[in-house]
Chain A
Amino acid sequence: MADDHPIFRAGIRHILQPHGDIKIAAEVENGVDLVDKLRSSNFDILVLDMNMPGRNGVDLLRQVRLEAPRLPVLVLSSHKEDLYAVRTIKAGASGYLCKDFASSDLPEAIRKIAAGGKFITPRVAELIAMDMSNPVSDMLPHTLLSNREYQIFLLIVQGAGMTEIANQLNLSVKTVSTHKVRIKEKMQLSGTPDFVKYALLHGLVDDR
């Protein structure tokens, strides 16, 4: 059990006391001690408070996973928001439990996880599924363009030259070129042929 609050550790001991099948083999109160302990002994399950002094959060969880890849981890946290559960489980935890529900749910969660299962609320499972079906890479880079940049992007795609665009928009050629550089940076494309491909692929212009 890793938690930096003695009073809370006492509470956990109290909760687990009536359950003879669960034994607290070791207690640590910071990330460094935790890693030391994991290197020197073997455990069936780790109950981890991610919010400890020093290295904390998802970083700490990742390090634990590196040190002991097969050790199932139950994250115990004072944060209620579902996003904590989503992120910690994605980072490799087997379960997430808010401390508010520890008294009723902790023994069951420990048993489930020690047996190789997961402890996830239906709501969190749903959120994780949504997260998976909506990967971050789906962000379309042209949405980062300003109105002006998007206007110039479309003109370039339609085959207009720098001077033509400058005249049409009443800008200097230099300004238009600066915009083009910025468009390339934002969309991470290398030039006009890539612009055209992108625009066609995403239906930004009529396919003529």
Chain B
Amino acid sequence: MNQQTALQHDSTILVVDDTEQSLNMLVELLQLEGYRILQAQYGELAILTAQTRAPELILLDIRMPGMDGYEVCRRLKADPVTSSIPIIFLSALDDTEAKVEGFHLGAVDYISKPYHSEEVLARVRTQLELGNLRRTLEQRVALRTQQLLAEVTERTQATLELMKSRQELQELSWHLEEVREAERKHLARELHDELGQVLTVQRLELKQLADQIEQPPDILRNRILGVLGMLDKVADMARNISESLRPGMLDVLGLSAAVKQHVSKFGESSGIQCSLQMNRDDFTLDSRTATAIFRILQEALTNVARHARARNVDIRLAELASELILVVEDDGCGMQQKQPGERHGFGLFGMQERVKLLGGELLIESDSGQGTRIEANFPLGVTT
């Protein structure tokens, strides 16, 4: 009740009626209830007052000379400043069509003349309360909208930053990968070419020397041949170290040759029966992609040798319409049989990273006791 009283006292109502008698009657009635009253006797003044004084409710007579109530209503609703002020139409016209027209224009209620004081007051009170509720609600909605907007902005910002840092991380991995590969290539070349060449030449020299010594006893010749044998071993060692750093075949003969060589060596050293199938003699790839694919195969086979306890492994490398696909499938113990708590090793993580960097996908199928199947596919023509 208190609230209602306070509300009444605070509320300003604009009463618009061209008949002075009728106007005065309404003004008096409402003032007695404690409302603040603004009044206007014709349309233009009503609009001006509504715009400048912002009443909370307008009682609007329909029949007026010049601009009638409908027109006033239309203009008030068209102006964003006044469009939300509720309007109650007043008229002697007690026909349904007039009422419908009024509601159609946006009026909230309709009071027929002659007035009954109680009816007028009741309708006015209802509309003011509704208006007040609406305003409170709008304020709350506005406030919540603002909060939500702030939250959304914050989240979007966070997501953007996360994406950015992910991208940076990925670029960094690429960079690291390239630096590492370049370093290996350099070392391998130094070992293979520089050291290897010197050894080869020394070997040639010694061989010729040995051939020139013919007189018996050929102790000297045998000793030189012994040194030659050792030199051969050193040269092979240098070659092996070089090869393990960076497969020279990848640079000289390309991916398919390097894969073939690696698989055959892997088969010999691990004792696992390897079957390799490729659908190209030569894959047309840039060196970055070729290197990455080679490294993935290498890691996959290392995993097989370390963890799978496999007897056979199938390796397939195929170029399809718009992708390259690598499949490594073993008949080992599968991944579920690993020790509890043991996670996929770094090998698998490394493979995943490499595949991701090339914009590809790594799929792993592994059932306990059924072996493991790794499939990596890379879109072609995407990387540079």
| A residues at B contact (CB < 8 Å) | 5, 7-8, 10-11, 14-15, 50-51, 56-58, 77-81, 83-84, 87, 90, 99-100, 102-104, 136-141, 143-144, 146-148, 185-186, 188
Contact = CB atoms under 8 A, between A and B. Distances in A.
Given A83-B249, A103-B208, A143 B277 contact: yes
Given A58-B254, A103-B203, 14 more contacts: A11-B201, A14-B208, A79-B249, A80-B236, A81-B249, A84-B249, A84-B252, A90-B281, A103-B208, A136-B281, A139-B316, A141-B279, A144-B327, A147-B365
Interface string B231-253: 01001100100000000110111
Contact of A102 (B204, B278, B316): B204
B278 to A, nearest CB: 6
Interface in B188-245: 192-193, 196-198, 200-201, 203-205, 207-208, 232, 235-236, 239
6 closest residue pairs by CB, A with B: A57-B252, A139-B279, A139-B277, A103-B204, A11-B201, A103-B207
B251 A57 contact: yes
Contacts of B196: 78
Contact of B203 (A84, A90, A100): A100
Given A11-B201, A14-B204, A103-B208, A143 B254 contact: no
Interface in B177-191: none
Interface residues of B, number: 43
Contacts of B236: 80
Contacts of A83: 249, 253, 257, 260-261
B314 interface: yes
Most buried by A among B239, B323, B363: B239
Contact of A5 (B193, B261, B363): B193
Nearest to A99: B200
B318 interface: yes
A138 B279 CA distance: 7
Contact of B252 (A15, A51, A186): A51
B321 interface: yes
Contacts of B198: 7
Interface of B: 192-193, 196-198, 200-201, 203-205, 207-208, 232, 235-236, 239, 248-249, 251-254, 257, 260-261, 277-282, 314, 316, 318, 320-321, 323, 325, 327, 363, 365, 373, 375
A contact face: mostly helix, strand, loop, or mixed:
helix
Contacts of B323: 185
A83 B281 CA distance: 12
A144 B248 contact: no
B297 to A, nearest CB: 15
Nearest to B371: A147
Given A51-B248, A139-B277, A143-B316, A84 B197 contact: no
B318 A51 contact: no
Given A136-B280, A136-B281, A144-B316, A7 B208 contact: no
A56 B252 CA distance: 6
Nearest to A79: B248
Contacts of B281: 90, 136
B252 A144 contact: no
Contacts of A87: 253, 257
A141 B318 contact: yes
Contact of B197 (A7, A79, A139): A7
A58 B252 CA distance: 6
B278 A78 contact: no
B197 A5 contact: yes
21 contacts: A8-B197, A8-B201, A11-B200, A15-B208, A50-B252, A58-B254, A78-B192, A79-B239, A79-B252, A80-B236, A90-B281, A100-B203, A136-B279, A136-B281, A138-B277, A139-B316, A143-B327, A146-B365, A185-B321, A185-B323, A186-B325
A89 to B, nearest CB: 12
A85 B277 CA distance: 20
Contact of A100 (B193, B208, B232): B232
